Amino acid sequence: MHFPFLNKVKFIPVATRLTMIFSLLMSLLLTSLAVAVNFYQADALEKQTVHFSSVLAKQTAHLLETPLLEANTIAINTISQQFIEIDLIANVTVYAHNRHLIAQYGIIALSTDKTFVIPIQSQKKLLGYLTWSLDKDNLQKKRQQIAHSIIAITVLISLIGIGLIFYLCHSLLKPLASLMLVSKAITETEFNTLAPTKRKNEVEILMQAMNEMNKGMLQKDRVEAVFSRYVSAQVAQQVLKDLNNIETVELGGDHLMASVFFADIVGFTSLSERLDAQQISSILNIYFSKIAEVVSFCGGHVDKFIGDCAMVVFGVPVQTRRHAFDCMACAWMILQLINQLNEKREVAGELTVEFRIGANSGMMLAGNMGSSERMEYTVVGDSVNLASRLSGAAEPGELVITEDVFIEQSLEGMIKTHVKDLIKIRGKRLPVNILSVTDILTPFRDKMLAQIPVILAGQKKTMSQKRQPAPVKKQ
């Protein structure tokens, strides 16, 4: 499965997203609360100011009764001056009962200011009037001061809340970062990455389960890696695809159309008589390791090494439509590689060997062969036996196939051949016309020739080295 987020895709961590969401919600809540509090405080301030000034005005009016009866202007002015000194009072005016102005202090009342009037009476006799006005500008400044204080408190609480939310989210979701690293390692088949766990909460338990799964996949990966040294990677994956249901692995297989070739060392018996076991093992390992790399490059798999012979299969367990051409092309590439390898060894004064190859395509039984205690995934059948016989009919450095395969697999225009001989094959009732493959006639030829020096140099092919599209038959 492909995960785009693992290919350097930008994303916002869950903890950061939760912090942003909770911070936004908290900010909206605090802002709404601040607006409500500010409105309430402003309204309360105005009511409180009106009530306070009204109480003082009534007291002042009471003090003005005697000065008005005595027409004591000095006393009236003194009392009025004391009243105007109260905050938020913009104007104070004292009138006689006939509305004659006696005293006036403060600024002239504006239309926006609130003005109040209290009659001054003594024993129900009207002596005059006391008027005063509230300073709207001063009152507005008080409101702004309250609003600024509320805003400052709201911002401070918001910052503290955001810090706490950020800390809590990152503390609670910190294990997710470890889980993400483990998940990324699993997708990249790096199963040795484990997440630290202390089993404190549900996330930690999930991390422990992830670690156990990772360990199991690491074990499977190691088993597959070791197993692939004994069988091909394709077969290893086929066998190990379901370790939990290993009891379902049974003997038998399916009849499939596939291709196979046998690459046999020429004169191996006489060579074994002249060399000791260590030298023989060294030569086989050198040549067979290069052959295995060619087979892997061409998309096949080495079924087995039988003494001095390599058995290579195409089309199983992974079926392909062009298995016949891949098989012939791989065998031809091996012969070209052996020629270049022998040239290098001759220059170095080392022993060289030659191979002869017989290839064939047809129906064969592919599956698990052997016994229930010991089995192997391989192919058997008449087509396989014929390929083995053909390798014995080939000359050193030669690849032979049958004319029937050349025709049935539509290889004309893909490979170059010439008629070799009409021979009698053991186990066949009629003689078989065999062809010698001399060259490959498709664009894949250049790709193979370019890969040979890379293999001889011991360099591993990379994933960027892709094969050419399937060859098209010439009309």
> Which of 118-122, 204-208, 245-249 is most confident?
118-122
- Of the candidates 406, 428, 432, the one whose C-alpha atom is nearest the C-alpha of residue 417 is 406
pLDDT score of 464: 34
Which domain-ending residue is among 170, 188, 206?
Answer: 188
Phi-psi label, residue 199: left if phi above 0, alpha if psi -120 to 50, beta otherwise: left
Q: What is the mean pLDDT of residues 75-96?
A: 80
> 184 with 257, same domain?
no
> 36 with 159, same domain?
yes
Q: Is the pLDDT of residue 221 over 80?
A: no
Tokens of 32: 């709404």
Residue 96 CA, distance from chain mean position: 90
Which position has the token pair 């016949």?
324
86 versus 237: the higher-pLDDT residue is: 86
Task: Kindly report, residue by residue over 5-37, the tens digit of the pLDDT.
Answer: 444 445 666 667 777 887 888 888 888 888 888
> 2 with 107, same domain?
yes
Q: Which residues contact 365 (CB under 8 A, 6 or more apart)?
A: 253, 254, 255, 256, 379, 380, 381
> 260 with 129, same domain?
no
- Any idea what the CATH number is for the domain that residue 393 is in? 3.30.70.1230
Q: What is the DSSP string of 167-198?
A: HHHHHHHHHHHHHHHHHHHHHTT-TT------
* 207 domain-assigned: no
* 83 domain-assigned: yes
Q: What is the mean pLDDT of residues 93-111?
A: 78
pLDDT score of 56: 80
* 398 domain-assigned: yes
Phi, then psi, of 134 in degrees rounded to 5? -85, 140
* 26 domain-assigned: yes
> 19 with 147, same domain?
yes
pLDDT score of 452: 93
> 36 with 145, same domain?
yes
Q: What is the mean pLDDT of residues 187-206?
A: 57
> 163 with 84, same domain?
yes
* 101 domain-assigned: yes
What is the DSSP code (8-state) at residue 390?
Answer: H
> 431 with 317, same domain?
yes
Distance CA 11, CA 14 (A): 9
> 292 with 372, same domain?
yes
Tokens of 163: 């810090």
2 versus 88: the higher-pLDDT residue is: 88
Q: Is the pLDDT of residue 353 over 90?
A: yes
pLDDT score of 470: 41
Q: Is the pLDDT of residue 173 over 90?
A: no
Q: Which range (177-181, 306-310, 432-436) has the least confidence? A: 177-181
Q: What is the mean pLDDT of residues 385-409?
A: 93
Q: Which range (65-79, 161-175, 304-318) has the least confidence? A: 161-175
> 253 with 179, same domain?
no
368 versus 408: the higher-pLDDT residue is: 408
Residue 223 CA, distance from chain mean position: 26
Question: Percent of the chain, pLDDT > 70?
Answer: 75
Q: What is the mean pLDDT of residues 272-280?
A: 89
Tokens of 144: 């702004």
Other C-beta atoms lying within 10 Å of the C-beta of residue 286: 15
- Domain range for 158 is 1-188
User: CB of 379 within 8 A of CB of 260?
Assistant: yes
Tokens of 254: 């399916």
Distance CA 238, CA 227 (A): 11
User: CB of 100 within 8 A of CB of 106?
Assistant: no
Task: Count, in order, helices (H) and strands (E) of the chain.
Answer: 12, 12
Distance CA 339, CA 78 (A): 127
159 versus 470: the higher-pLDDT residue is: 159
> 158 with 307, same domain?
no
pLDDT band at 184, cuts 50/70/90?
Answer: low
- Any idea what the CATH number is for the domain that residue 53 is in? 3.30.450.20
pLDDT band at 355, cuts 50/70/90?
Answer: very high
> 287 with 435, same domain?
yes
* 201 domain-assigned: no
pLDDT score of 136: 74
Q: What is the mean pLDDT of residues 433-458?
A: 90
> Which of 106-120, 221-235, 330-344, 456-470 is most confident?
330-344
What is each CA distance from 125 to 68, 93, 329, in whole angstroms? 11, 20, 130
Q: Which residues contact 126 (CB under 8 A, 6 or more apart)?
A: 97, 119, 120
83 versus 180: the higher-pLDDT residue is: 83
* 306 domain-assigned: yes
Q: Is the pLDDT of residue 326 over 90?
A: yes
Structural domain count, the chain:
2
* 375 domain-assigned: yes
Distance CA 387, CA 360 (A): 5
pLDDT score of 145: 81
Task: Kindly report, residue by residue over 334-348, the tens digit of the pLDDT.
Answer: 999 999 999 999 999
pLDDT score of 297: 93
Which position has the token pair 């058995």?
311
What is the DSSP code (8-state) at residue 291?
Answer: H
Q: Is the pLDDT of residue 471 over 70?
A: no
pLDDT score of 467: 43
